[in-house]
Chain A
Amino acid sequence: KQEVTQIPAALSVPEGENLVLNCSFTDSAIYNLQWFRQDPGKGLTSLLLIQSSQREQTSGRLNASLDKSSGRSTLYIAASQPGDSATYLCAVSGNTGKLIFGQGTTLQVKP
């Protein structure tokens, strides 16, 4: 059974820092991995989708990497801003047809 773990559960950093959020999964037989952002009381916003054949994806200040063999993904946020404060969720998709979510990392960027 696929399990997804995100570390740390919460993170507080000063504005301007570069930071890394971690996601690990137990079954490497995935089709893709997706990173989402969720603001309090809102829906999920898709940030990046990495297919299983890819190693990384970039969008603006965000870079996500995928090492399928070791069951790990990282989301790198460069030059963090207070507007980046949110909960970040990673989710993997495999042959069950279901998206399996991690518990999320709640990020606070202080001005």
Chain B
Amino acid sequence: DTEVTQTPKHLVMGMTNKKSLKCEQHMGHRAMYWYKQKAKKPPELMFVYSYEKLSINESVPSRFSPECPNSSLLNLHLHALQPEDSALYLCASSLLAGGRNTGELFFGEGSRLTVL
């Protein structure tokens, strides 16, 4: 099973709302990632978790708050977002994070976020 599952597929929220994006994988991967993708652009890295610990934060605004409750789950908590945060949010996982043994990255289908 080489699947990364993301929910919800679509999310519309106001600037004062609090919502969460969820990601799950059962491949035994110990690295999980959040990416943001705008239309016609490549994905941009936001966060990397390695062994459930945050290892990379690409200077993402604090209105985005990641959480890794266990090795299979990754959440992205959203609060007080701006319209420019509207994008496709992609979760990915790999065997390990960084280094020669990172392995292949597997992506989910994404959560399409619209901020009104």
Contact = CB atoms under 8 A, between A and B. Distances in A.
Task: Say if A and B assemble together.
Answer: yes
Contact of B90 (A34, A44, A46, A96): A44
Contacts of B68: none
User: Taking chain A's interface residues, is the majority helix, strand, or loop, or is none over half, making it mixed?
Assistant: strand
A93 B102 contact: yes
Contacts of B27: none
B55 A97 contact: yes
A46 B2 CA distance: 10
Contacts of A104: 42
A105 to B, nearest CB: 11
Interface string A25-42: 000000110101000011
Interface string B95-107: 0011110111111
A49 B98 CA distance: 15
B112 A99 contact: no
8 contacts: A31-B102, A32-B102, A44-B92, A44-B107, A45-B107, A46-B104, A89-B42, A98-B45
